[in-house]
Structure formats: C-alpha cells, structure tokens
Amino acid sequence: MQTKIKYIIIIIFGWICNFYCQNSDNNFSIIEDSVLKSIAIKKPDTTIARSYNYLAFELRRNNPTKSVKYGELALVIYTKNNNLGGVALSNFNLGTAHLNLSKHHDALEYFNKAIFFGNKAGDKKVVAAAYNNIGIVFIKQGNTSEAIKNYLLGLKLRAELNDKSQMGASYANIGNVYFNERKYDEALKNYKLAVNLFEETNTKFGLANAISNIGNLYLELGKIDTAYNFFNKSLKISLEINDKRGISSSYNHLGSIYLIQKKYTLAKDYFNRALKMQEETENIEGMVGTINDIGRVEIELNNISSAEKKLKENLIILKKTRSLKILADCYALLSRIDTLKRDYKNSFYHYKLHVEYMDSVRNKDNSEKIIQQQLTFDFNKKEAETKEKQLKKDIVAKEELRQQKKITNISIGAGVLVFLFLVIAIRAYNGKQKANLITLQQKIEVEKQKHLVDEKQKEIIDSITYAKRLQEAILPPFEFINKHFKHNFILYKPKDLVAGDFYWSEKIGDKFYIAAADSTGHGVPGALVSIVCSNALHRTVKEFNISETGKILDKTRELVLETFEKSTSDVKDGMDISLLCIDNKNKKIFWSGANNPLWYISHSSNSNKVGGNELMVIKADKQPIGKTDNPKPFTTHEIDYIENTTFYLFTDGFADQFGGPSGKKFNKKQFSELLIKNNQLTLHEQKDCINEVFENWKGNLGQVDDVCLIGIKI
C-alpha cells in the first residue's frame, strides 16, 4: 500500500514539473522543490536522474549555467548505475549547455562522449542530436565542411528513425551552411523543408527558428518588407513559448531593419532589448553581435568616440570566443570609424583583418566540400532506394519463373528469353547510368564555374562598396553645410557606385569654403583620384594655412603633382574645380576656378532679365589641377557681397547628358535657362525640379558622366 502511495506522489510531482515548464515564465523553483521532495520519498536513482536531465534540457537555452548543474548531477547517478543511455543523454545536455555558454571546446568533448555512449546503448536519437550540435559548433568556428559532414550524419540517422521534427532541425542547419556560402536558393529550399516538417509535427521552437532564418535570408537579399513580416511571425511564436533566446534574436533582426530604414532610435531600442535578454540567458555570442549592431547605430548618429569604445571593448571578448564572422564584422566597423577620423592607415589595417577573418569563414575549399558531401548523401540515399526496388523486382521475377516451370516445359525457353531480356536491360541500365554520371559531372563542373564567377563578382562588388564608403567619408556632412548656410542644395548623382565628381567644404576662421570638383575619369579610377585631390585641398587650408582661393588651387595642384610624380608611370590625372569662399563677417566673396566657371543670380539685378533675374558668369582659368604644358597661377576673383544672391558651382556632367526627343546633349545654354527659370523657388524646390528635368531628359538612356551641382544663397 505504501509503495502505491509513493508511486502516486511521484506521478503528481511529474505533473507539477510539466505544468510549470509549460505555463510559467521559466520559474523552476517549484520544479526544483518537487525533485528534492521526490528524493526524500526515496525514488529510484534512475527516476531522480531522469528528473535532473529533464531540468537540464528545459534550462539549456534560458539558463545554461543551471542546466550544467543538473546535467552533472544526472551524469553522476547514471555513471554510478552503469546506465549507458542515461550517460549518453546527460553528456548531450551538458554539451548543449556549454555550447550556449560559448564554451565550444568543452561542448565538443561532451558531444563526442554522447556519440560514444549513445552508440553503445543503441540510442540513435541521442547520437543524431549530438552530430547535429557538433555541426553547430563547427559552423560557429568557421569550419563549414566539418559542419555539413556532421549535419548530414545526423540527418541520415533521423531519416532512419523517421523523426520528422528533428529532421526539420537538420534541414534548418544545412540551410544555414548554404546561407553562409551565399547559395541562397539552396538555403531557402532547406529552410522550407524545415518549416514543413515543424508545422507537421507542431514543433514551435524549431518553427520559430526556421522562420527567422528565412527572414534573415530575405534581409540579405534586400527584401526588407518580406523580412520584417517573417521576423514578426518568428517573434510571436517565441513569445508564445517564452524562448528568450529566440525573442532576443527577433529583437536583434527587427533592430537591423530599423537601422537600414535609418530609424536609429527604434533600432537602438530593439538592440538594447535584445542585449538585456542575452545577458539574462548568458548568450555571449548573441551579446557580442548585438554590441556590434549598437556600435553601428552610434556611428550613424555620429557618436564616433562612443562607438569606438564599445567596439574595442567588444573586440577583447570576441578574441576569446573566436566567433569569426562577428569578429570580422567588428573589424569592418572599426575600419569605418578610422576612415571617418581620416586615419587611413588604421582603416586599411582593420579592413585587412576583416577580409582575413571573412576568408576563414567562407573559402573555396569549404564550398567544394559542401557540394561534394551533399551530392554523396543524395546519391547514397537514391542508391539505397534503387536497390530496394530492384530487390522487389528480382523476387517477383523468381516467383513467376517457378510458376511457369510447373505449368509447362516451355519454361526453359521462357527462362532463356527472360535471361536475354535481363542482359539487354542491364546493358541499357549501365548505359543510362554512364550517361547520368557524365551529366552529373558536367552539372558539377558548371556549378563549380558558376560559383567561381559569383565569388569573383561578389568580391569586386564588395571592394567597390567599400571604396564607396571611403569616398563618402571625404564628403562633408550636409549638417556641416546647413549649419553655416541655411539656404543650399547639393545634387550629387554618381554614374556608378563610386564617382570622380565630389564636393568639398571647410570653415577656416571667418571664411567658409565650398567647391564642386570633377576628377579625371569616373567609377573606381575617378574615385581614387578624387580622394587624392580632396586630401590635397584639405592639407592646403589646414596644414599650409593658405586662405586665398587662387593660391589654394596653386598649392593643391602642387600637392597633386607631387603625389602622382611618385609613380613610375606618366600619370596626367587631376581635376577641374569651382571654389567659392564666403566671408560673412567682412562681407566679401572670392572665387577661383580650374576649367569650371561660376554662375550666380542676384535678385537685385535689373538688366538682361530672363524669368526676372540675370545670370552672371565668371570664366575659369583654362587649365586643370594637374599636369599641364604651360601652368600659370590661378586667378582670385572678388565678387560684390549682395544679399539674396544665389551661386551655382557645378561640373560638366549635367550639360553633357544625352537625351530628349533627339538624343542630343542637354548643353550649357539650356542648363543656364533652367537655373534662371527656377531661381524664384526655394533652393530645396530647385533641387527637386532640376533633378526631375535631368531624369526626364535622360529617359531610358544611360548616364554618361557623374553629376555634381551646388546651389548656395547668401
């Protein structure tokens, strides 16, 4: 009778455990009390160990430190009783907890022990789970070929067990490998397989994770709205099951979307929410990734010193965790900060480290091994199916042959005919197999070549995108220009991702300088020349303290020539420029130009009116900032300081654009009439109107050159 009462109490404690695991906010204190009381009732050792393992599993994500504690208690009991299945499961739970604590070396040891004891106990489910989690460790360490190998070993066992929910986890992880290798079609295919299996088995944790992965893929492809919907769907499921790691991941992804949309306050709020929850769950890898994201927001808000401090502190933790992808991202952000600080030496150093770590995460050998292992897995699977079908055919054939022998002596002839048929079929089958093998090899070669082309194209685009960042760093912020002149606009339209045209501005004492410049060429070569020319302008006014516009251009030319003279090649690059100096305190205006003129309109003018205003023109010196046969000093022009005067500085890209009904150049005459016609509008309205005219004129034709037009009103 007493034994029955104890058994009933044990069942009640089990119900309490299950109820609180499903309905509480991970408050395991009552469950712990239940376990302790059950020990007092003298439960069998294996039942106590099972309870400890249950707690270890449930706590693995939201409280991995406690999970380790209970896993170790379970392991002691199972080892004492020589329960190999329990030892395997305990080692798996301990490995998972250490994985969530970012202790990768310890995690691998526990998972390998789980495989060893799981095989001895014949527990394929634990062995498959251990292989899967070993794959996760390797993917975090950047070893994608080992990751896919272990994922496929786990998937094979799960397929044998027909464990659909766990097969879904394997497909989701394989999708992550393809995602890291930028094979987005393959990644999406595996993610969708995972979603279908999770929905079929009502596995909400896996479903939330797979949906989040799909959202991340669409975010990478630039489909922001689609990604946003998937992240919200994942968040809803994670909140429903109170998976704090899943919730923090969704917060992080939503913060990334708000960052892209330049909603910096919202982005920072969601990143901080994620960080708080990651600290609660001891998610170190999540924390360092989120700190990178917060640093990215601080950069966008121009809080450079705060961003640099956060990222350098983060770097110390990252070097310990060896999370290569996040470490590479941190170096990229530090490179960007160095560029904004004009510390190009450190910028190059940090960017080089970024590239090295990204190469470790994603390399050619890994990609080839992934493809080969996936093909081998698929081939073995198909081969097993073919053997099974062939075996069934052979059994049917033998039965028919036996029956025919009983019926008539003609069975001998029939047997010969069957034999001949089989010979022909085998030959045909072998021929088909050879043809299929050739087709498969050709497909692999095509895929390999396509991958190489895609990689090279991505490397080129990445390099040009980084060059764009460097070039954007030399352009003065709009806030700086707005601070000194409220009425202004800048129409800047590069022909390519990077440009030869650039604009430049500095405030030295009471004098405000602004310029529109056109470097030799466009695209990447033009961008490189623009950086040299911008740096020369900056040095002239800052380092050499030259303030007169003509002499500024003289010194700039000298510095540009000095830079290019270091080359063994005959470099004739340079720039055309329109440089304006406004001295508000002394009410004086100065201007100098190299090939590019200055146009301005004063509202007080009364003669030669077109649209109510007169366009004044000051011609530039007909020589570039660069190598020329007969260099002369640049002229400094002084202009009357008249309020409500609008100055236009520009390069030749607008006037040289082909388009219109006849496909001709826009030309300078039509350009000047456009400025006069719209001069009565505010400068913001002028910019919109001028840009609309340009786009309509261009139509379906390509842009022929970079465009830079500055309007500034005193």
Provide mean pLDDT across the span 529-536: 90
- pLDDT at site 469: 76
**Residue in 12, 98, 61, 52 with CA at minimum distance from that of residue 241:** 61
Whether the predicted pLDDT of 39 surpasses 60 = no
Provide mean pLDDT across the span 544-573: 85
Whether the predicted pLDDT of 712 surpasses 90 = yes
Provide mean pLDDT across the span 393-415: 57
| Residue 604 pLDDT grade (very low, low, confident, very high; cuts 50, 70, 90) | low
| 278-324 pLDDT tens trace | 899 888 888 999 999 999 999 999 999 999 998 988 888 887 776 77
Alpha-carbon distance 314 to 282, whole Å? Answer: 15
- pLDDT at site 33: 61
Domain 475-713: CATH superfamily is: PPM-type phosphatase domain (3.60.40.10)
Q: Looking at the domain that runs over 243-362, which CATH code has it been given?
A: 1.25.40.10
Secondary structure of 500-569 in HEC code, one letter for each residue:
CEEEEEEEECCEEEEEEEEECCCHHHHHHHHHHHHHHHHHHHHCCCCCCHHHHHHHHHHHHHHHHCCCCC
User: In Å, how far are 213, 565, 641 from 271, measured between CA atoms?
Assistant: 18, 49, 50
Whether the predicted pLDDT of 369 surpasses 80 = no
Alpha-carbon distance 150 to 132, whole Å? Answer: 6
- pLDDT at site 58: 86
Give bridge partners of residue 616 from the DSSP assignment.
600
**Residue in 451, 534, 148, 99 with CA at minimum distance from that of residue 285:** 99
- pLDDT at site 386: 43
| Residue 122 pLDDT grade (very low, low, confident, very high; cuts 50, 70, 90) | very high
Alpha-carbon distance 33 to 35, whole Å? Answer: 5
Spatial CB neighbours of 600, under 8 Å, sequence gap ≥ 6: 615, 616, 618, 639, 645, 646, 647, 648
**8 Å CB contact between 299 and 262:** no
> What percent of the chain has a predicted confidence (pLDDT) above 70?
80
Mean pLDDT (the chain, rounded)? 83
Select the highest-mean-pLDDT range: 277-281, 396-400, 587-591: 587-591
Secondary structure (3-state) at 184: helix
Largest Cα span, the chain? 124
pTM: 0.48
CB atoms within 10 A of CB 4: 8
